[in-house]
A = this chain, B = another copy of it.
Amino acid sequence: MIVGTALAAAVLSVSGAGKAGAALPPDVGATKTVESLPSPPGKHWLWVNDFVFPHMTDGTVHLLDGDSGKYLGLLSVGSSFSHVILPRDGKLVYSPEIYFSRGTRGTRTDVVTIYDTSTLKVVGEIGIPPKRVSSVPTSGNAELTDDDRFLLIYNFTPAQSVSVVDTMSRSFVGEVETPGCAFAFASGPRSFFGMCADASFLAVDLDDSGHAVRQTRTDALFDGAHDPVAEHPVRIGNTWYYVSFDGRIHPIRKSGASFVAEPAWPLTTAAERRAGWRPGGVQQLAIHAGLGRLYVIMHQGGRETHKDPGKSIWVYDLASHRRVQTISAAHPLVSIKASTDDQPLLFAIVAESNVIDVYAPTTGKLLRSIKDVGTTPSLIVTTP
């Protein structure tokens, strides 16, 4: 402390002895030392989720501004991360996180950490059972109910269940057993569904306290044995669009307390299928409700390439099922996501890289590439 004061004196003395002319003002002296962000968040912001495959204890989320390409900030989110979940006002971030008392060993602790999107500071933490699924990141691993009241988290131990968290009281409510069924897709203010191994859907209704009051299991809604659908659907209203390995769109619609399959339609012509065109990637589908457009990452390959990246984005009119546009991507892509506003951007994760490409979806033009975004980015989450 004595020496500290001595330094202060030294700095003040040299500061007072500058050359003639006004010097730049000091930054040391400004009250603001830490940035904050506008609230609510911009509609062209994106949260790039990174589970950091080579160092999975150190998961991260990178917040970017798609308009400027500016890197806005980072969240540190623990082991085997999947993705953050934002409520519709975008003012908070819910992050299901796993920690071990000794990094890769010791006692496991699962929490939902709550961050403020304006400060990126921790504003709350909710303990949950140490059962959260560890898998390739996928959006069905956690979602909020349609009124943002309950956070639903898929567990796999390998027994399957869903943890229900009340965001109002910030407490764990309980666990809903979902044997044979994966994921926790919200389907209303008090309901969610899982996808079952036999291609059926499990519909679960909750009461106002978050406890399950009804479970309804459908028949198989697609051909799970011969042409299963990929995990990642996109949703408009009460319809979820899935794509099968061979490139058929399966619209699944909520009907009452259950689900029905609308007629499936193909992305490809018979000739295109013969040429091996099929969807691929992780977040293979994107959608924009206002434009009525569906975006699909496409490539050519055999069935076992159903997760391979693609350099082509095929664009479909949801009403006519017709392909209306083809975007030739600058780089092979694994995940795409459209912003939800009226002047949307289409965000994409470039395969084998930490680069995020931003496209104008209507023109297909690559607007910018944002580099050095984490280590192994996997899923994009946008402002609701």
Footprint of B on A, CB under 8 Å? 52, 54-58, 76-79, 97, 99, 101-105, 109, 111, 113, 122, 375
- In angstroms, Cα B105 to Cα A76, docked, is 9
Which of B52, B77, B104, B105 touches A55 (beta carbons < 8 Å)? Answer: B52
Asked whether, in the complex, the Cβ of A76 is within 8 Å of the Cβ of B99, the reply is no
A55 in contact with B375 (CB, 8 Å):
yes
13 sample A-B contacts, Cβ–Cβ < 8 Å, listed by A number: A54-B375, A55-B58, A58-B103, A76-B103, A76-B105, A78-B103, A79-B103, A97-B103, A99-B101, A99-B102, A101-B101, A101-B109, A105-B122
Q: How many copies does the complex hold?
A: 2
How far does the alpha carbon of A214 sit from the alpha carbon of B266 in the complex, in Å?
84
A120 → chain B closest CB, angstroms: 12
Knowing that A55-B58, A57-B103 touch, tell me 15 more A-B residue pairs with CB under 8 angstroms. A54-B375, A56-B58, A57-B57, A57-B58, A58-B58, A76-B103, A78-B102, A78-B103, A97-B102, A99-B101, A99-B102, A99-B103, A101-B101, A101-B109, A102-B113
Most B CB within 10 A of own CB, among A99, A101, A103, A109: A103
Q: How far is the CA of A78 from the CA of B56 in the complex (A)?
A: 12
A373 to chain B, nearest CB (A): 13
Q: How far is the CB of A255 from the nearest CB of chain B, in Å?
A: 32
A106 and chain B: residue at smallest CB distance: B99
Closest 6 CB pairs of A and B: A55-B55, A55-B58, A76-B104, A57-B58, A78-B103, A58-B58
CA–CA, A78 to B111, complex, Å? 20
* Residue from A52, A79, A102, A105 having most chain B Cβ neighbours under 10 A: A102
Across the interface, which residues of B come within 8 angstroms of A102, CB to CB?
A: 78, 97, 99, 111, 113
* Minimum C-beta distance from A288 to chain B (A): 35
Give the residue among A57, A78, A113 with the most B Cβ atoms within 10 A.
A57
Q: In whole angstroms, what is the CA distance A126 to B58 when docked?
A: 25
Q: How far is the CA of A55 from the CA of B54 in the complex (A)?
A: 9
Closest Cβ of chain B to A377, distance in Å, is 14
Closest to A102 in B: B99
CA distance A76 to B58 in the complex (A): 13
Q: Which residues of B contact A101 (CB under 8 A)?
A: 99, 101, 109
Closest B residue, CB atoms, query A107: B101
Q: Considering the complex, give the chain B residue whose CB is closest to the CB of A54.
A: B375
Q: In the assembled complex, how far is the CB of residue A69 from the closest CB belonging to chain B, in whole angstroms?
A: 21
- Can you name the residue of chain B whose Cβ is closest to the Cβ of A104? B76
User: What residues of B have a CB within 8 angstroms of the CB of A103 in the complex?
Assistant: 57-58, 76-79, 97, 99
Q: Which residues of B contact A54 (CB under 8 A)?
A: 55, 375
| Cα-based distance from A79 to B102 in the complex (angstroms) | 10
Q: Once bound together, how far apart are the Cα atoms of A104 and B109, in whole Å?
A: 14
